[in-house]
Every structure is written in C-alpha cells, then in structure tokens.
Amino acid sequence: MKRIYLDNAATTPLDPLVLEEMLPLMREQFGNPSSIHGHGRVVRSAIEKARKKVAELLNTSPSEIFFTSGGTEADNTIIQNTVLAKGIKHIITSKIEHHAVLHTAEELQKRGLANVSFVELDAKGYVDYGHLEELLKTDPTSLISLMHGNNEVGNLLDLDRVGELATAYGALFHSDTVQTMGHYVHDLQRLKTNFIVGAAHKFHGPKGVGFMYLQSGTRIPPFIHGGAQERNMRGGTENVYGIAGLAKALELAYAEMSEHQQHVQGLKSYMIERLKEAIPDVRFNGDPENSAQSLYTVLNVSFPPTADSEMLLFNLDIEGISASGGSACSSGSDVGSHVLTALKADPSRPSARFSFSKYNTREEIDTVVEKLTVIVGVERVS
C-alpha cells in the first residue's frame, strides 16, 4: 500500500536539494565551528553563510538571527527571558496558541513572574482586536504573544494590525511564525514585530533546527548557558548541517512560494468541495473557505456525530492515510484539542486535521475522500 501523507503541519518531507546541501557537512566538513584551525573555520563559514541567507530572505540583518533547536526552544527563550530581562509583568496571549507558548506563559504565572491575559476570540478563532487594545490599556508594558497561523485550524493573525497596536502602546510583540515561515513572505523591515521564530522541518528542511529573530534593541539574555556560541545567545555546539539545511530549505521555499501557494491552496479548496459533496453535515473548523485569512496548508474537518470519534484517526491510518487532530474535550479528564475546545466545537463530532504540501496531488485527495465516506459511515458517492 502506498501511504498518503496529509500531516504536513506536523512535519514536512525533506527536500532532496536540502539533503544535498547538508551532506558535505555530514561527511567531510566535520570540524567544530568554535575551533580556530582550518577544519573549524570552514564549518564556521558555512554557519555564517546560512545566517546571511536567512537574514537576506527575511530582509533583516544577520546580527538579528540566532539558530536554535527549533520553534519550541525559540518561543521559550523569547517569552521567558523577555519577562525576566525587560521587567515585563503582563503577557497577552490566546487560548489557541501552541503549547510552546501557552505552557511557558502558564509556568511564568505559576512562578509569580507575570500575569497572563487571554484575548477574546470569535467563533471562528479570530482575535478580537478591540479586546486586545483594552488589555493593552490596562498595562502597556506587556508582551503580546500571538501566533501568525494557527497550527490546528489555520486562522491567520493580522500581524500588521497587532504590530501597530503594540507600537502605539509601547508593548513588545512576539509571534510564533512556525506554521507560516517559508509559506508567506516575512519582511522584517516592514513588520512591527520584535520577535519571530521558525523551524526548518515545517518547510521541507531537517528536524531539530530552527531560529529566532531578535529585533535590534530588544536583545535578551541566553536561555541555554555553557558556551559563547551564537554570539553568546545559545550555549552548545551548533547543529551545523541542520543550519545549512534550514537556510537552503528557506531559500527554496521563497523561490517556489507563488507556485507552491497556488498548488496547495488548490488542493485545500478541492478537498473542501469534495467533502461537501460526499459527506452530509460535514463542517469545517476555523474559516478555511476565506483564503485571504486562512493558512492554505491546513484544513480542519468536523464529521457527523455518528462517526466513531476515537477510531477516526486509527481507521485513516489503517487505510494508509496519515492525518492528525482530535475532537474538542467533552470533560475535564479528556485529552482532546485545546484549540477546538477554546472555539467551543461540538465534542460529539470527531475532527481531523489534513495538511498539505507541494508533494500532494488531487488524486490523493480523491482517495482520501472516498476512504472517509466509508470510515464515517456514509454511502460512497459515485
């Protein structure tokens, strides 16, 4: 059985050209980049070349890019150390953030280091910008942490609007851009963000490597101590071939972005229409049919209550289809989707997240929809 992979929001396949970029640093160029001899200098040069490339693509300075092990480390570093170093006592976030943000904010509140406020959301998961401004009025010296593209339902944040509010009230603005990095242009000379993050494996790069952008003038202390790497911002020997792979993957993503967007948005729209035709009472979480405000790589689908919630993903897997997701929590003991719960989704309806990449096809979508009609108990549509 040839498996169909529709879980690209979790991780993407490695692009062969990225692997080609990494192999010399895995095979021959093995020196420690902190060493001053020839072997080390060659590898140090590869890191700085990658940093320059990332900065060029994001229209910023190489001095503002710092490599990490991924998005989670970058989010933790930014949120925790901004609170500690900048005297921030108030974090504004939402209940549908990635746990790298939510759990970090909750931990800081538990330790008595900051209070956490949750901005209100509408039924589709969009931020109430009026409420955000009210929260800023109560404490302008806040850290706003709101993700650009939601990893479960795909809603997009208006980065410009939040940046304007942050600037107007003197707040700092961090956005988890893990799901949108490599899929949308991030012009950091224009965007009014103090911090953003990226993870290579979300745009066909290697796992275990990411980066954070720290705007000049908003430097913070390191989160990981033990060495002078990353200009004293992250101790530990660098993941050299991962860093080179990240830069190559981002370069390819920017070069292919328009074509990629058109292809993947087409797959998402096609799956929406096919599901509507094939499964009565199918619903969609978030606002997926609004292409201007919905991440084109993500589609969260809610199926009729007659379907077996606990077995949906299992049965998809048995049929050779990789997807992810989960229903809203129906009780305090449930381990369900905190995002769907926050959006008050019906817990009796099983949900699944399908996420797409440049490697998916319409034929795969047809197969998935046909399998779903059987799994959820709907007679096949010819």
Catalytic (active-site) positions: 329
**How far is the first Cα of the chain from the last one, in angstroms, to the nearest whole number?**
23
* CA–CA distance, 164 with 187 (Å, rounded to integer): 15
Q: State which H helix or E strand residue 68 sits in.
A: strand 65-68
* CA–CA distance, 197 with 181 (Å, rounded to integer): 8
* CA–CA distance, 320 with 141 (Å, rounded to integer): 50
195 with 215: CB under 8 angstroms?
A: yes
In this structure, are strands 172-175 and 195-199 parallel, antiparallel, or unpaired?
A: parallel
CA distances from 242 to 86, 176, 218, 254 (A): 31, 20, 26, 18
In this structure, are strands 115-118 and 142-145 parallel, antiparallel, or unpaired?
A: unpaired
Phi, psi of 156 (to 5 degrees): -100, 140
Collapsing DSSP states into helix, strand and coil, what is residue 10? coil
Q: What is the DSSP string of 225-283?
A: -SS-HHHHTS-S---HHHHHHHHHHHHHHHHTHHHHHHHHHHHHHHHHHHHHHHSTT-E
Please, what sign has the CA dihedral across residues 121, 141, 66, 217?
positive
Please, what sign has the CA dihedral across residues 269, 282, 290, 150?
negative
Please, what sign has the CA dihedral across residues 36, 41, 46, 48?
positive
The position carrying tokens 């911090």 is 195
Task: Compute CA 49 distance to the chain's CA centroid, rounded to the nearest angstrom.
Answer: 25
